[in-house]
Amino acid sequence: VNDPAKNDATAQIDDTTLSGLWDLGAFGLQVPTDLGGLGLSNTQYTRLVEIVGAHDLGVGITLGAHQSIGFKGILLFGTEEQKAKYLPRVT
């Protein structure tokens, strides 16, 4: 179970929490389903991160950063070959 107070005190997110989020596909929220992601719309993504962030802002920021600076450039501007190569690895 995620412990926001512990995360704040240690300035990190527990590996178990991160692994669980990975298993749920939370690191590929906006990656298209054909590339291994969940394919959420901007509205769906925003609502989900808002809910997560209300419980643990650090986890919400981690998910948001991964979606925006982690792979967004490849998603928006990458070639089809780059998308096929890299996006399944980050979801």
Gap between the Cα atoms of 72 and 69, Å rounded:
6
In this structure, what is the dihedral angle of CA atoms 70, 71, 77, 78, given to the nearest 10 degrees?
130
Gap between the Cα atoms of 71 and 83, Å rounded:
9
Domain at 4-90, CATH from 1.10.260.40, 1.10.540.10, 3.50.50.60, 2.40.50.140: 1.10.540.10
User: Would you say 26 and 18 are in contact if contact means Cβ atoms under 8 Å apart?
Assistant: no
pLDDT 10s digits, 18-68? 999 999 999 999 999 999 999 999 999 999 999 999 999 999 999 999 988
What is the model's pLDDT at position 83?
Answer: 94
What is the model's pLDDT at position 70?
Answer: 81
Global confidence as pTM: 0.85
Task: Count CA within 13 A, CB hemisphere, residue 72.
Answer: 8
